[in-house]
Structure 1
Amino acid sequence: MKRRAVHLAFGAATLCFAAIAIHDWAMLKHAQSVTQAIDAMASTKTAADRSTNEAFEVQLARAVSLAKAGRSIDAQRLFDPLIAQDDDRAIQAAALFDLGNMYLRDAAGPEAAGPIRSLPLLEQAKERYRSALRIDPDNWDARYNLERALWLAPETPGDQEELDIKKQSTVKLRGAQSEDLP
């Protein structure tokens, strides 16, 4: 009886390890297909004209490479469907993060320590980082980049209220009396 229990436990463990091996093999094949698609992307000139039926990772890699090459409009076209999809939240957060990086890079210009070139792009970058943090609050890279963007263009809560409130001042004229409005 004891021998039978040991054999059953060994068989169950073997099946579990076989299932893990099959899962790892499938993940390896997926990674190889993504790598081949990225290599094919590097060899072609028209990377933005590809179809969107590829893996999300390939689309993200293509968009990041276009953004780093300075082709922001083409990269934006590839980032938009990745952000709109709801199948893979990790890819969605990564696309928001990389889009924020593109906006921050475009706003800061080549000299990151110098003055910013475009405040609207910097605001877009902050919004993308906040959206990425809503999806993945543990993304420390997005937190750091949001802090960096806030350092470049700080936001104070009083700024928006001051725009709506008109400043009042009292003016005293000789010979005039103050009257209250009805």
Structure 2
Amino acid sequence: MTVLALAAGRTGPALRARLAQALRRGRPRLLVALPILLLLATLGFGVAAWRVGRDNAAIAALQAGRDVPVGTDASAPLLLARIQYLARRGQPEGIEPLVDALARTGDTDRVARARYALANTRLRQAFSHLERSDLDPAGPLITLARQDYRRALQNNPDFWDAKFNLDVASRLVRDFPEFDRKTGDELKAEPKQIWTDIPGQPRGEP
């Protein structure tokens, strides 16, 4: 037997004895700390469950048409629900900060749906102006809608509804070159004729 083997044989029992002694000394502290750690863990799970329940209630209220204020620090599902609520009511002004906050979460699918909802709102507003032959405000709204549809597709390239509505907005620009000239000329077509060559209005829920 080598010298190293002898040393290991002698130190092994001594080391185990020291560990056992340290465990005996620390056991009372562990017994005191364990309930506290369990309590903290329970509180943490409870707070998380409460937040999920609160968010679900707010989302349900927004989907039912009730106005629920939402801050930019809200969860991604709640941010999207608020964006869709504002979009359905034609209120794009409050949407952009929420979309920016949603983008910071990294949830690309929800960001795409949020951009799509915002674009639909702007396109609907543009259609409303076009029906009244009010070309000046319609052009910028269509430009913004096209930008948001493209951003939606950047986050979700397979978003078919966004592709369809981007084509609708692009056809409007092609059919009415007055948008590019920005001269403020009165729209030549009658309001009822505006829809003749357009394949459809914004589709589905925002």
Q: Same fold (TM over 0.5)?
A: yes
Structure-2 separation of matches of 1:31 and 1:107: 37
For the Cα contact (< 8 Å) 2:119–2:144, is it kept in 1? yes
Task: Give the TM-score, by structure 2 length.
Answer: 0.50
Structure-1 separation of matches of 2:164 and 2:65: 34
Structure-1 separation of matches of 2:132 and 2:160: 21
Which residue matches 1:36?
Answer: 57
- Segments of structure 1 that go 5 or more residues without pairing to the other structure are 1-28, 161-182
CA shift for structure 1 position 57: 1.4
Structure-2 separation of matches of 1:152 and 1:108: 10
Relative contact order, higher structure (CA 8 A, sep 6+): 2
Paired residue for 1:52, among 63, 68, 72?
Answer: 72
Q: Which amino acid aligns with 2:97?
A: R
For the Cα contact (< 8 Å) 2:92–2:118, is it kept in 1? no
Q: CA RMSD in A?
A: 3.3
Q: Which amino acid aligns with 1:101?
A: N
For the Cα contact (< 8 Å) 1:103–1:121, is it kept in 2? yes
- Segments of structure 2 that go 5 or more residues without pairing to the other structure are 1-49, 181-206
Q: Which amino acid aligns with 1:119?
A: G
Percent of residue pairs bearing the same amino acid type: 31
Task: Give the TM-score, by structure 1 length.
Answer: 0.56
Question: How does 1:96-111 map onto structure 2 within 5 Å?
Answer: 96-109=115-128
Number of residues of Structure 1 aligned to a counterpart in Structure 2: 125
> What per-residue deviation string (whole Å, max 9, x for no partner) do you get for residues 52-101 of structure 1?
3322111111111112113221233323322x325211111111111111
Which residue matches 2:31?
Answer: none
